[in-house]
Amino acid sequence: MTQNKSEKPLISVKHVRKIYRMGEEKVVALDDVSLDIYKGEIVCFLGTSGSGKSTFLNMVAGLEKPSKGEIIIGGVPIHKLNEERVTLFRQKNIGFIFQAYHLMPMMTALENVSLPLIFQGMDKKKREKISREVMAAVGLKGYEKRKPTQMSGGQQQRVGIARALVGTPKIIFADEPTGNLDTNTTKEVMDLIVRQVKRHGQTLILVTHDRSIAAYADKVVTIQDGNILHVRENRHPAVMLEEQEPAAGQEETDGTDPAGGQKPAKEQERPKGLKLTKEPISADERTPNETIETEGPKTVSDRDEKKDAQHREAGISKGNKEEAQ
């Protein structure tokens, strides 16, 4: 999607710097990074190992605090939120596909996938129905009752992907989302993620080493030694909406060449995800709210489950915070 420059960015990263201290040693993981990301964009970060990709993602997703700088999402300065508020913010607005899957070992695959729907106050029957649909969509039909340890790395990764997609969050962060998948499955899974994201008008920010994944992005950001080297707009990303016919003579792109000669997607070809949907909710009709939410869940059903899940989520965020600032 090409953004309307008069639009306000959904995510504004301003002069973010992250320093890790290990005793005497100081590691500048991010030097000075500024970037605007607009609603509905798919943004891909490319860069070699250690360039700062995961650090950037964790920072923008509110999993870690920057040493300096600002991160504003939907008008909310998330770098200023305390642990509790940032956890609620993530639950309401953000889905995360982790580099390490962070699945709950004691829970079945289906329960892992259902977690975000608990925060939405959805009843068990409905959330299991939706979770089964999303699991089937990522090729995990029949694996619902398995525990993560009873699954292969690629299958666990797909559980993580299903969990990130199931609640239709406004923003999805993905750290090497296809790192453990073979080439064919990578394409299938990326097609699936991108279709869902486009259909629902979600924003996807992903980091990868894999240049073929950049072909799916609207914007490709190359990061090197903790700085943005360049940002390139991709005029014809690899996945089209189902109802959109590919333009005649359209060629594959590696996502890094802006001079493709294709016109940007037209207004009427934009995702139809902004329409409000009526019951019944199906995997295809789930639509995120328009506004970024800063409060916790409003419904009180499943209160205990929400609390439990919140504790687990806090565990996830702690697992990512090993820095000694």
Ligand X SMILES: Nc1ncnc2c1ncn2[C@@H]1O[C@H](COP(=O)(O)OP(=O)(O)OP(=O)(O)O)[C@@H](O)[C@H]1O
Residues that bind ligand X (CB under 6 A): 20, 22, 27, 29, 47, 49-55, 209, 322-323
- Residue 55 interacts with, from ligand X, Mg ion, none (CB under 5-8 Å by kind): ligand X
Q: How far is the CB of 268 from ligand X (least distance, A)?
A: 38
8 or 21, CB closer to ligand X? 21
**Strand runs (DSSP E) across 211-321, as ranges?**
219-224, 227-233
CB neighbours (10 Å) of residue 235?
A: 17
Q: How far is the CB of 161 from Mg ion (least distance, A)?
A: 17
Residue 56 in tokens: 């950037």
Which amino acid is it at 279? E
Which amino acid is it at 247? A
54 or 131, CB closer to ligand X? 54
Residue 310 makes contact with Mg ion by CB under 5 A: no
Residue 292 in tokens: 């970024």
> Can you tell me whether residue 260 is helix, strand or coil?
coil
- Residue 241 interacts with, from ligand X, Mg ion, none (CB under 5-8 Å by kind): none
25 or 243, CB closer to ligand X? 25
Residue with the closest Cβ to Mg ion?
Answer: 54
Question: How far, in Å, CA of 113 to CA of 160, rounded?
Answer: 7
User: Residue for token digits 């004691």?
Assistant: 106
Question: How far, in Å, CA of 141 to CA of 110, rounded?
Answer: 10
156 or 310, CB closer to ligand X? 156
Q: How far is the CB of 57 from Mg ion (least distance, A)?
A: 8
For 82, 103, 164, 315, the CA distances from 319, given in Å and listed in that order, are 17, 12, 18, 6
Question: How far, in Å, CA of 92 to CA of 154, rounded?
Answer: 27
Q: How far is the CB of 212 from ligand X (least distance, A)?
A: 16
- Residue 104 interacts with, from Mg ion, ligand X, none (CB under 5-8 Å by kind): none
By CB under 5 A, the residues from 246 to 305 that bind Mg ion are none
Q: Which of 53, 160, 192, 32 is nearest to 96 (CA)?
A: 160
- Considering CB under 5 A, how many residues would be counted as binding Mg ion? 1
176 or 302, CB closer to Mg ion? 176
135 or 193, CB closer to Mg ion? 193
46 or 292, CB closer to ligand X? 46
Sign of the Cα torsion 214, 7, 247, 276 reads positive
For residue 247, count CB atoms less than 10 angstroms from its CB and return exposed for 0-12, middle for 13-18, buried for 19 or more.
exposed
Which residues pair with residue 16 across a beta bridge? 33
Q: How far is the CB of 21 from Mg ion (least distance, A)?
A: 19
- Residue 233 interacts with, from Mg ion, ligand X, none (CB under 5-8 Å by kind): none
Q: How far is the CB of 181 from ligand X (least distance, A)?
A: 16
Question: How far, in Å, CA of 100 to CA of 263, rounded?
Answer: 38
By CB under 5 A, the residues from 43 to 62 that bind Mg ion are 54
Question: How far, in Å, CA of 63 to CA of 90, rounded?
Answer: 9
Q: How far is the CB of 52 from Mg ion (least distance, A)?
A: 9
167 or 177, CB closer to ligand X? 177
Q: How far is the CB of 174 from ligand X (least distance, A)?
A: 12
What DSSP assignment string belongs to 291-319?
SPP-S-----TTHHHHHHHHHHHHHHHHH
Residues within the interface to Mg ion (CB under 5 A) = 54
